[in-house]
Structure 1
């Protein structure tokens, strides 16, 4: 008799597995967006604005 060591996923276990995976993906997506738009993008924009200001000052000095 060749039986597998693990039973097939059925019923309640399948429902819980789908719920767990769905929640994990949803929460992961939410926290990923919170990081990206709440921390990463403002910090990147602040850095880019700083270097743009430096470049504008350098360009103004070289034109005079």
Structure 2
């Protein structure tokens, strides 16, 4: 019975890992930026504008 030779898999794991990490970080950064600038910042501005308007109305009622 002859033993068959199997080629060592040396660089495939490293290349695959780098590619997977690059894709994951790219998608993560894109989705995070989309959430931050597409949802969080506009909602924060809307909240701040609401409380600013509320404070102006309260100050106007007090005669300031």
Number of residue-to-residue matches in the alignment: 56
* Cα offset, 1:17, TM superposition: 0.2
User: Does residue 36 in structure 1 map to residue 36 in structure 2?
Assistant: yes
Long gaps (5+) in structure 1? 1-8
Whether 1:61 aligns to 2:61 is yes
CA distance in 2, matches of 1:62, 1:10: 76
Question: Structure 2, unaligned stretches of length 5 or more?
Answer: 1-8
Using the TM superposition, give the Cα deviation of residue 63 of structure 1 relative to its aligned residue in structure 2, in angstroms.
Answer: 1.5
Q: Does 2:50 correspond to 1:13?
A: no
If you compute each CA radius of gyration, which structure gives the higher value, 1 or 2? 2
- Give every structure 1 segment of 4 or more consecutive aligned residues whose post-TM-superposition deviation is greater than 3 Å: none
RMSD: 1.5
TM-score where L is the length of structure 1: 0.81
Instruction: State the TM-score, normalized to the length of structure 2.
Output: 0.81
CA distance in 1, matches of 2:23, 2:60: 54
